[in-house]
């Protein structure tokens, strides 16, 4: 089992200045590196409080690269629909070089209507644009002269520089949430799977079923290749000496996290797309979660080391997870709450999990 930290700045400017957020975000990556965590992941979003502080995960990871020596750097969803493949291939290869070959490239299809509106891209073309872009990036990484004729971009005999430090290219991960089509396609391509589950344990059955689609498809397609499926799971984590101490810090941060997430999801009001089924009611659901109920029936992992160890073991068994990417900055937390939590997790929980 591998562990990493996952960052998504859900900061309101009135709460935290961007300079303060990123000073802490770089420092927590250094701490995670010192503690032996395997990954630091940063997520791309735009404009709103939900992730808007980080339009460029690669910029953040480049800063982390020069301050760390072992931890792998992961983009928590380059939103490929918003970028040209030549830019993605070149920028990722640059950070791969700067980090000495420590980059994992995670992609996401994007899901917020206001982001699509701002970029002038139709929600209904997102899947086709996404798959064309990822295929093009892989060719740019691996072919000396790559050519494309897509409805979304075209070029002839392009040599992308710099070439990736990792050969044939950095490990690729793709995020999926609800769609069976997405889970099966990720497996067909041989990519790692990034999963962010719903807040309630009762809703994990669908997540489990979709992970099973990924595993079965991967086995069918790659049976003779030697390739192995990879499943990374991201949920909030907070550890303290006692359950009550942990919840005293985590509860207000979780409320803020769900409120900011819900406000972003409200952009689905009046929007619809066949590529994004059942997104319309997400905002209301997130902002009306009963956090008291989530103490015993939520997917966030909060508590003393013993409680946390039990919950991690339960999640791993239910969902066949091999990598946990722990959300440590939820609710706009500062270093003074993030650092004690991950230190306690590294010292008291990871050794017991094996």
Containing structural domain, residue 166? 2-353
Quote the CA–CA distance of 39 and 10 in Å, as a whole number. 20
Q: Which residues contact 310 (CB under 8 A, 6 or more apart)?
A: none
| Whether the predicted pLDDT of 280 surpasses 70 | no
Query: Residue 5, class by beta-carbon neighbours within 10 Å (0-12 exposed, 13-18 middle, 19+ buried)?
Result: buried
Q: What is the CB neighbour count within 10 angstroms for residue 17?
A: 12
pLDDT band at 221, cuts 50/70/90?
Answer: very high
Are the C-beta atoms of 328 and 341 separated by less than 8 Å? yes
Which of 220, 195, 188, 172 is CA-nearest to residue 320?
195
The Cβ of residue 165 has, within 10 Å, a number of other Cβ atoms equal to 18
- Give the model confidence (pLDDT) of 116-167 as tens digits: 999 999 988 989 999 999 999 999 999 999 999 999 999 999 999 999 999 9
Token readout for 252 is: 């207000």
Give 192-249 as a DSSP string: EEEE---SBGGGHHHHHHHHHHHHHHHHHHHTTT-----EEE--BEEE-SSHHHHHHH
Question: Tell me, what CATH number does 249's domain have?
Answer: 3.20.20.30
Residue 277 pLDDT grade (very low, low, confident, very high; cuts 50, 70, 90): low
Q: Select the more confidently predicted residue: 131 or 76.
A: 131
Q: Is the pLDDT of residue 269 over 90?
A: no
Higher pLDDT, 87 or 354: 87
Q: Give the residue from 143, 49, 144, 125 showing the smallest Cα distance to 80.
A: 125
Task: Tell me the angle at which helices 57-65 and 18-35 cross, rounded to the nearest 10 degrees.
Answer: 50
Number of domains the chain contains: 1
pLDDT per residue as tens digits for the range 170-211: 999 999 987 888 999 999 999 999 998 888 888 888 899 999
pTM for the full predicted model: 0.93
pLDDT band at 270 (very low <50, low <70, confident <90, very high): confident
- Per-residue confidence (pLDDT) for residue 266, from 0 to 100: 84
| Tokens representing residue 304 in the block | 């003393």
- Using one digit for the tens of pLDDT, what is the confidence trace for 317-327? 888 899 999 99
Residue predicted with more confidence, 292 or 220:
220
């Amino acid at each position: 089992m591998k562990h990493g930290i996952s960052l998504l700045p859900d900061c309101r400017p009135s709460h935290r200045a961007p300079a303060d957020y990123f000073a802490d975000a770089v420092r927590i990556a250094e701490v995670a590196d010192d503690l032996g965590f395997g990954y630091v992941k940063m997520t791309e979003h735009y404009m709103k409080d939900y992730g808007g502080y980080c339009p460029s995960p690669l910029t953040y990871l480049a800063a982390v690269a020069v301050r760390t020596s072992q931890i792998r750097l992961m983009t928590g969803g380059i939103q490929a629909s918003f970028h040209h493949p030549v830019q993605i291939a070149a920028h990722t290869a640059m950070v791969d070089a700067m980090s000495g070959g420590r980059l994992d490239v995670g992609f996401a299809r994007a899901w917020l209507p206001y982001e699509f509106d701002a970029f002038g891209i139709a929600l209904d073309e997102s899947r086709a644009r996404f798959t064309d872009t990822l295929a093009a990036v892989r060719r740019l990484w691996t072919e000396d002269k790559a050519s494309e004729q897509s409805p979304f971009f075209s070029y002839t005999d392009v040599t992308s520089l710099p070439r990736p430090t990792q050969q044939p290219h950095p490990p690729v991960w793709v995020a999926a949430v609800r769609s069976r089509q997405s889970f099966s396609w990720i497996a067909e391509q041989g990519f790692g799977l990034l999963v962010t589950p719903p807040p309630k344990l009762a809703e994990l059955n669908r997540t489990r079923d979709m992970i099973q689609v990924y595993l079965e498809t991967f086995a069918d397609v790659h049976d003779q290749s030697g390739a192995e499926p990879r499943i990374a799971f991201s949920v909030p984590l907070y550890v303290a000496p006692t359950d009550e101490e942990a919840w005293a810090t985590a509860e207000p941060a979780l409320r803020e996290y769900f409120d900011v997430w819900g406000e972003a999801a409200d952009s689905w009001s009046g929007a619809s797309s066949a590529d994004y089924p059942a997104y319309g009611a997400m905002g209301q659901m997130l902002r009306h979660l009963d956090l008291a109920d989530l103490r015993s029936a939520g997917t966030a992992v909060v508590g003393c080391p013993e409680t946390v160890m039990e919950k991690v073991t339960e999640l791993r068994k239910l969902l066949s997870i091999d990598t946990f990417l722990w959300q440590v900055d939820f609710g706009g937390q500062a270093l003074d709450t993030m650092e004690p939590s991950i230190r306690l997790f590294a010292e008291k929980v990871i050794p017991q999990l094996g």
